[in-house]
């Protein structure tokens, strides 16, 4: 797929469903690359590549959620003639939710399922000022979440590469508000790590309010990045909820 927004690392033209995966703030689609070998042939993995990272490192993240969703919506529209689902981790969960709301308002084909990982339900989300923190404080935030090794953040070149993108993402997510109070017409599954410092089971369970369909919640051993610790288990639950093998 030539679209800069979407990458299919292992094409499966006969797959029953495509699974779009959105990364966390400051993160890349590499978070999901181990899934290539774990997903069955019935599910085709589609990695969403946001501006400001990997091959798009010289691009700037849109300043507001609405602009991002407009661009992303245009990118995914060509694949909506096939069944699809979407998995978003942390910030990616909010972006996934807003994407579906936007498509729903345009009467376009929605997903079979929304998976929201390590993210509070919209009614519990609050603004913040993490995008305004100094570099050292921002690095401490990353270390607390458990997604980045402390020794890596001591490398000046890596900090210079990572922190601007992280700030852009935090600004986007901390200044956005849910665009609609309409529930989705697809099931939602919420996932979280039991030791996540930013999320409680009740925060995640609040996603039930956003669907007219089935809701399920899974808790895992681990922190905010539990899915890196238990990829086999997470993928097995995704496959189960999609009713595929």
Active site residues: 90
Radius of gyration of the CA atoms of the chain, in A = 17
Distance CA 171, CA 174 (A): 5
117-133 as b/e, with b when 16 or more CB fall inside 10 Å?
bbbbbbeebeeeebbeb
């Amino acid at each position: 797929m030539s679209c800069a927004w979407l990458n299919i690392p292992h094409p499966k033209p006969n797959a029953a469903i495509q699974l779009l995966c959105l990364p966390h703030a400051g993160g890349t689609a590499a978070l999901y690359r181990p899934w290539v070998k774990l997903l069955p042939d019935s599910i085709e993995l589609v990695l969403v590549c946001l501006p400001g990272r990997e091959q798009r490192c010289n691009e700037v993240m849109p300043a507001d959620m609405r602009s991002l969703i407009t661009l992303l919506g245009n990118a995914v529209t060509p694949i909506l003639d096939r069944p699809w689902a979407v998995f978003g981790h942390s910030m990616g969960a909010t972006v996934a939710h807003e994407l579906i709301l936007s498509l729903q308002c345009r009467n376009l084909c929605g997903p079979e399922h929304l998976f929201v990982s390590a993210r509070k339900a919209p009614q519990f989300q609050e603004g913040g000022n993490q995008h305004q923190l100094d570099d050292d404080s921002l690095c401490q935030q990353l270390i607390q979440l458990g997604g980045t090794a402390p020794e890596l953040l001591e490398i000046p070149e890596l900090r210079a590469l990572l922190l601007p993108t992280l700030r852009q993402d935090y600004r986007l997510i901390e200044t956005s508000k849910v665009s609609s109070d309409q529930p989705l017409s697809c099931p939602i599954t919420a996932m979280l790590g039991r030791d996540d410092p930013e999320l409680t089971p009740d925060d995640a369970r609040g996603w039930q309010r956003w669907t007219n369909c089935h809701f399920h919640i899974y808790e895992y051993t681990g922190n905010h990045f539990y899915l890196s610790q238990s990829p086999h288990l997470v993928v097995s639950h995704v496959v189960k909820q999609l009713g595929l093998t």
